[in-house]
């Protein structure tokens, strides 16, 4: 596995503690301990869910590209692009509804779209890298 990817996966695994803390924040919201409006509640849930799923997906892609013998450079590029989306998408959901009683998301929603592009590129790169490894192994 490419050393940069090993470092990225290590850092990613450490972020799971932050995602778990986010879960406790959502519990405080659900129990009425943190005053938020419906828009904020929806966006905070979406941000938390995307963080967990995309961290898991990025780690899975890193392992899959390594195990299948895909090019270490392409495997790292695809995995890191997906892991980047795990930062951009949740950040967009969380940061776009900060403040007292927002009625609509702010311009930080652009981060969600950048993250979606990073996710798409990362999954495409990783998929092609794994396919090439499989075809090369025939």
- pTM reported for the whole predicted model: 0.90
The pLDDT profile of the chain, 138 residues, written as one tens digit per residue, is 888 888 988 998 898 888 988 889 999 998 888 889 999 999 999 999 999 999 999 999 999 999 999 999 999 999 999 999 999 999 999 999 998 889 999 999 999 999 999 999 999 999 999 999 999 999
Which of 1.20.1080, 1.20.120, 2.40.128, 2.30.30 is the CATH number of 3-136? 1.20.120
The residue ranges of every structural domain in the chain are 3-136
Instruction: Count Cβ atoms within 10 A of the Cβ of residue 20 and give its class: 0-12 exposed, 13-18 middle, 19 or more buried.
Output: exposed
Angle, in degrees to the nearest 10, between helices 72-95 and 110-136 = 160
Close Cβ partners of 25 (under 8 Å, ≥ 6 residues apart): 34, 44, 48
């Amino acid at each position: 596995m490419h050393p940069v990817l090993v470092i990225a996966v290590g850092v990613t695994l450490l972020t799971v503690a932050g995602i778990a803390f986010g879960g406790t924040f959502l519990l405080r919201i659900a129990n009425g301990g943190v005053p938020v409006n419906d828009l904020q509640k929806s966006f905070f849930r979406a941000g938390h869910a995307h963080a967990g799923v995309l961290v898991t997906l990025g780690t899975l892609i890193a392992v899959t590209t390594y195990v299948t013998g895909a090019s270490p450079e392409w495997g790292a590029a695809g995995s890191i692009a997906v892991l980047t989306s795990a930062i951009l998408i949740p950040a967009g959901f969380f940061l776009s509804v900060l403040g007292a009683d927002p009625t609509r998301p702010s311009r930080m929603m652009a981060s969600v779209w950048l993250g979606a592009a990073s996710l798409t590129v990362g999954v495409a790169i990783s998929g092609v890298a794994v396919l090439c490894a499989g075809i090369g192994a025939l």
